[in-house]
């Protein structure tokens, strides 16, 4: 965990990359991946329509990150052995006890990880991702070519920084891989949960589909970044899913100033959290506390549809953390989820399948969000799916 000025400098380098206007420039790349994925689902043979969603969705998240971060065009549905997907799966898997323990040591005791020479990512994999960045940067600097992706934003931001304070190629490679590591598994898991809840709640799914259809009709059949952000109920569904099943069930922070907590119960003594202490914040516990949410275990998107801004600013909703250290990639992740759901729900209905476990159950003792026996669902092509046009380059801001 970076401290003080070191953290601020890194955050200042990255923040301009993840503004709404910059995410908008990458929308076309995401939409192309989502359209391809939805087309695959809608054309599945009948005997293959019961499918494990998490495995499929990691192919989508891989393709989005490869395109938006690494300037690579891959189709992991057609080519599941492409090097990005293979290395991504290996690097981000934290489902064994050994990998989970290594991750926790790296996260909470980096000095111990260094002492024990624990590596989460093999050297040849780290070199592959570094080379992707180095080659792209060198080519663009030499030829003057540009592309609406994260590496281009890193390069553009460098031109605005003081001499000697620019990102190095190694910095870019490190940040790019951190983004890959952070988004490969989490977004696919979270979208799998959204799909499961939509299958369990057919009325909610129909309402989302109606909103998508109406929005597309009002925008001449074109799915743009701005049109997607008009879909308030879709946004509420995702927000409620993140409340019930947050990406990070708990988050850790370091206390920077002594703080006295009041007694937990009558007769107890107050407890002082000392500066330098690491604390864990139980996100799931807060999200499911009846003190903050009425009927907290119920999936109810309307609570966000009616009070989204109020809840988001309450301090009791933190799927991406809170404050200045809030996950910097949250806008990217939410856009990635929304654009996929727009494409899929336009073409398909999502149903419960014989192998679907209801209510949702998760594997215990692992870091990754892993459904017990997987996230099995059935896909049914919509009889009257709305055919919208592929988003045009003119629909994407170049700002």
The SS3 of residue 215 is: helix
Neighbours of 344 (CB within 10 A): 26
Question: What is the C-alpha separation between 127 and 219, in angstroms, rounded?
Answer: 44
Among candidates 208, 183, 185, which has minimal Cα distance to 299? 208
Asked if 352 and 200 count as a contact pair (C-beta separation under 8 A), the reply is: yes
Among candidates 88, 301, 297, which has minimal Cα distance to 184? 88
Question: What is the C-alpha separation between 283 and 38, in angstroms, rounded?
Answer: 32
Among candidates 135, 137, 139, which has minimal Cα distance to 158? 137
Measured CA angle at 260 (ends 256, 261), to 5 deg: 115
382: left (phi over 0), alpha (psi -120 to 50) or beta: beta
Residues ≥6 apart with Cβ < 8 Å to 42 = 347, 348, 379, 381, 382, 385
Residue positions in the annotated binding site for heme? Answer: 327
- Residues forming a β-bridge with 278: 254
Whole-angstrom CA distances from 220 to 67, 128, 214, 242 are: 27, 42, 10, 31
Evaluated on CA atoms 361, 367, 369, 372, the torsion sign reads negative
Among candidates 189, 150, 193, 168, which has minimal Cα distance to 57? 189
Residue positions in the annotated binding site? Answer: 327
Measured CA angle at 298 (ends 293, 301), to 5 deg: 80
Asked if 55 and 88 count as a contact pair (C-beta separation under 8 A), the reply is: no
């Amino acid at each position: 965990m970076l401290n003080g000025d070191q953290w601020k400098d890194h955050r200042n380098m990255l923040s301009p990359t993840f503004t709404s206007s910059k995410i908008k420039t990458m929308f076309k790349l995401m939409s192309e991946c989502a359209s391809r994925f939805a087309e695959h689902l809608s054309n599945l043979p009948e005997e293959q329509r019961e499918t494990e969603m998490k495995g499929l969705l990691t192919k989508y998240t891989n393709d989005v990150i490869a395109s938006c971060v690494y300037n690579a065009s891959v189709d992991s549905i057609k080519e599941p052995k492409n090097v990005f997907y293979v290395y991504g799966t290996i690097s981000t898997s934290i489902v064994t006890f050994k990998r989970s323990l290594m991750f926790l040591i790296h996260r909470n005791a980096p000095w111990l990880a260094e002492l024990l020479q624990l590596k989460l990512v093999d050297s040849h994999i780290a070199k592959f991702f570094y080379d992707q960045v180095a080659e792209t940067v060198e080519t663009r600097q030499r030829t003057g070519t540009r592309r609406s992706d994260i590496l281009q934003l890193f390069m553009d931001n460098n031109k605005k920084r003081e001499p000697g304070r620019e990102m190095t190629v190694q910095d870019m490679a490190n940040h790019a891989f951190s983004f890959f590591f952070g988004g490969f598994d989490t977004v696919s898991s979270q979208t799998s949960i959204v799909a499961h809840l939509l299958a369990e709640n057919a009325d909610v799914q129909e309402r989302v589909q109606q909103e998508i259809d109406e929005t597309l009709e009002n925008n001449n059949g074109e799915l743009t970044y701005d049109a997607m952000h008009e879909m308030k109920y879709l946004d509420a569904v995702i927000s409620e899913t993140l409340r019930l099943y947050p990406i990070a069930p708990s988050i850790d922070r370091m206390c920077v100033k002594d703080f006295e907590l009041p007694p937990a119960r009558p007769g107890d003594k107050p407890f002082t959290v000392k500066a330098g202490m690491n604390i864990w914040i139980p996100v799931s516990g807060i999200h499911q506390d009846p003190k903050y949410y009425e009927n907290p275990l119920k999936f109810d998107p309307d609570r966000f549809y009616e009070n989204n801004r109020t809840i988001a600013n309450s301090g009791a909703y933190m799927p991406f953390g809170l404050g200045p250290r809030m996950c910097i990639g949250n806008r990217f992740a939410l856009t990635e989820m929304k654009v996929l759901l727009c494409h899929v729900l336009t073409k398909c209905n999502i149903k419960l399948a014989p192998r679907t476990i209801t209510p949702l159950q998760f594997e215990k003792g692992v870091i990754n969000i892993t459904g017990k026996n997987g996230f099995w669902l059935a896909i049914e092509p919509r009889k009257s799916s709305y055919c919208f046009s592929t988003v045009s380059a003119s629909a994407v801001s170049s700002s």
